[in-house]
Amino acid sequence: MTDEAGEDAKLVAVPHTKLSKEYDHIKDVNDLPELLKAQIAHFFEHYKDLEKGKWVKVEGWDNAEAAKAEIIASFERAKK
């Protein structure tokens, strides 16, 4: 995802099985229904619509391993 300030990664997460078993079958973004993915993308494409000069472009989806790598990279950036 990209916005007016540059790259802006977003992560989709589900509750741990100890909190809810409803999402136990979701292990990767590709396990989500296409309609839900479209709804999430629509939200991010429009949530800044009322802010002048701001925009968002959803460029696609990546897998759980990429999400883990993004989290680790974020921690490393925060340490600096």
**Interval 33-73: pLDDT, tens:** 999 999 999 999 999 999 999 999 999 999 999 999 999 99
Q: How many CA atoms lie within 13 A of 74 on its CB side?
A: 11
Helix (H) or strand (E) holding 57: strand 56-57
Label the pairing between strands 56-57 and 2-3.
antiparallel
Asked if residue 3 has pLDDT above 90, the reply is: yes
Q: Rounded distance, CA 79 to CA 32, Å?
A: 33
**pTM of structure:** 0.82
Contact by Cβ (8 Å): 8, 1: yes
Q: Rounded distance, CA 8 to CA 71, Å?
A: 13
In the chain, the domains with their CATH numbers are: 2-79 (3.90.80.10)
